[in-house]
Amino acid sequence: MLYSIHFDVIVVGGGHAGTEAALVAARMGQKTLLITHNFETLGQLSCNPSIGGIGKSHLVREIDALGGAMALAADCAGIQFRVLNSSKGPAVRATRAQIDRVLYRQAIRFQLENQENLSLFQQQVDELVIEQGRIAGVRTQGGVEFRSSAVVLTAGTFLDGKIFVGLNSYSGGRSGDVPAIALSDCLKELNLPQGRLKTGTPPRIDGRTIDFSVMKKQLGDFDPIPVFSLRGNASMHPEQLPCWITNTNIETHDIIRSGLDRSPLFTGIIEGIGPRYCPSIEDKIHRFSDRNSHQIFLEPEGLKTHEYYPNGISTSLPFDIQIKLVQSISGLENAHILRPGYAIEYDFFDPRCLKSSLETRQIEGLFFAGQINGTTGYEEAAAQGLLAGINAARYVSGEAAWIPKRSEAYLGVMVDDLVTQGVNEPYRMFTSRAEYRLSLREDNADMRLTETGYKMGCVSEEQWIAFEKKRENIAREMERMKSTWIHPSMLPVKEAERVIGKEIEREYCLADLLKRPDVSYDSLASLTSVSGGNWRTEKELDKQVREQVEIQIKYAGYIERQTREVRRQQYYENLRLPANMDYSEVNALSIEVRQKLDKQKPETLGQASRISGVTPAAISLLLIYLKKQG
Ligand code: FAD
- Would you call 243 helix, strand, or coil by DSSP? strand
CA 173 / ligand 1 centre spacing (Å): 8
Whether the CB of 180 sits within 6 Å of ligand 1: yes
Complex prediction ipTM: 0.98
Whether the CB of 156 sits within 6 Å of ligand 1: yes
Strand 145-147 versus strand 342-349 pairing type: unpaired
Q: What's the rounded mean pLDDT across residues 402-424?
A: 95
Q: What's the rounded mean pLDDT across residues 290-296?
A: 95
| Atom 10 of ligand 1, residue of closest alpha carbon | 13
Q: Is 119 exposed, middle or buried (0-12, 13-18, 19+ CB in 10 A)?
A: middle
Whether the CB of 36 sits within 6 Å of ligand 1: yes
Helix axes 378-396, 70-77, angle to 10 degrees: 140
- Asked if residue 317 has pLDDT above 70, the reply is yes
361 annotated among ligand-binding-site residues? no
User: Tens digit of pLDDT for each residue in 476-513?
Assistant: 999 988 988 888 888 778 888 888 888 888 988 889 99
Q: Which of the 8 DSSP states describes residue 494?
A: H
Residues 261 and 167: their CA atoms lie apart, in Å, by 9
User: Do 86 and 434 contact (CB within 8 A), yes or no?
Assistant: no
Whether the CB of 426 sits within 6 Å of ligand 1: no
Q: What is the reported pLDDT for 540?
A: 59
User: Tens digit of pLDDT for each residue in 361-373?
Assistant: 999 999 999 999 9
Residues 370 and 428: their CA atoms lie apart, in Å, by 11
Cα–chain-centroid distance for residue 102? 20
Q: What is the mean pLDDT of the chain?
A: 92
Pocket test for ligand 1, best of 11, 16, 181, 348 (most atoms within 8 A of CB): 16
CA 45 / ligand 1 centre spacing (Å): 8
- Asked if residue 535 has pLDDT above 50, the reply is no
Whether the CB of 348 sits within 6 Å of ligand 1: no
CA 157 / ligand 1 centre spacing (Å): 5
Task: Give pTM, 2 decimals.
Answer: 0.93
- Asked if residue 240 has pLDDT above 60, the reply is yes
User: Do 25 and 8 contact (CB within 8 A), yes or no?
Assistant: yes
Residues 492 and 499: their CA atoms lie apart, in Å, by 11
User: Tens digit of pLDDT for each residue in 139-186?
Assistant: 999 999 999 999 999 999 999 999 999 999 999 999 999 999 999 999
User: Tens digit of pLDDT for each residue in 91-104?
Assistant: 889 999 999 999 99
Residues 16 and 377: their CA atoms lie apart, in Å, by 9
By C-alpha distance, which of 34, 13, 35 is closest to 24? 34
CA 371 / ligand 1 centre spacing (Å): 7
Pocket test for ligand 1, best of 112, 125, 198, 199 (most atoms within 8 A of CB): 199
Helix axes 378-396, 410-421, angle to 10 degrees: 90
82 or 541, greater pLDDT: 82
CB neighbour list of residue 265: distance below 8 Å, 6 or more residues apart = 274, 280, 282, 283, 316, 343
Q: Is the peptide bond before 224 cis (omega within 30 degrees of 0)?
A: yes
By C-alpha distance, which of 610, 609, 613 is closest to 623? 609
Pocket test for ligand 1, best of 23, 41, 47 (most atoms within 8 A of CB): 47
Whether the CB of 41 sits within 6 Å of ligand 1: yes
Q: What is the reported pLDDT for 196?
A: 95
Q: What is the reported pLDDT for 110?
A: 98
User: Tens digit of pLDDT for each residue in 566-595?
Assistant: 888 888 888 889 888 899 889 888 888 898
Helix axes 461-483, 445-456, angle to 10 degrees: 140
User: Tens digit of pLDDT for each residue in 342-367?
Assistant: 999 999 999 999 999 999 999 999 99
User: Tens digit of pLDDT for each residue in 251-272?
Assistant: 999 999 999 999 998 998 888 8
Q: What's the rounded mean pLDDT across residues 434-447?
A: 93
Q: What is the reported pLDDT for 523?
A: 83
CB neighbour list of residue 149: distance below 8 Å, 6 or more residues apart = 8, 134, 135, 136, 365, 395, 396
By C-alpha distance, which of 95, 586, 173, 472 is closest to 347? 173
CA 256 / ligand 1 centre spacing (Å): 27
Q: Which helix (DSSP H) or strand (DSSP E) does residue 295 occupy?
A: strand 295-300
Q: Is 584 exposed, middle or buried (0-12, 13-18, 19+ CB in 10 A)?
A: exposed
Q: What's the rounded mean pLDDT across residues 40-64?
A: 97
Alpha helices (H) along 170-301 = 181-188, 250-258, 281-287
Whether the CB of 344 sits within 6 Å of ligand 1: yes
275 annotated among ligand-binding-site residues? yes
- Asked if residue 528 has pLDDT above 70, the reply is no
Pocket test for ligand 1, best of 12, 19, 23, 36 (most atoms within 8 A of CB): 36
Count CB neighbours of 221 within 10 A: 16
47 annotated among ligand-binding-site residues? no
pLDDT band at 468 (very low <50, low <70, confident <90, very high): very high
- Asked if residue 212 has pLDDT above 80, the reply is yes
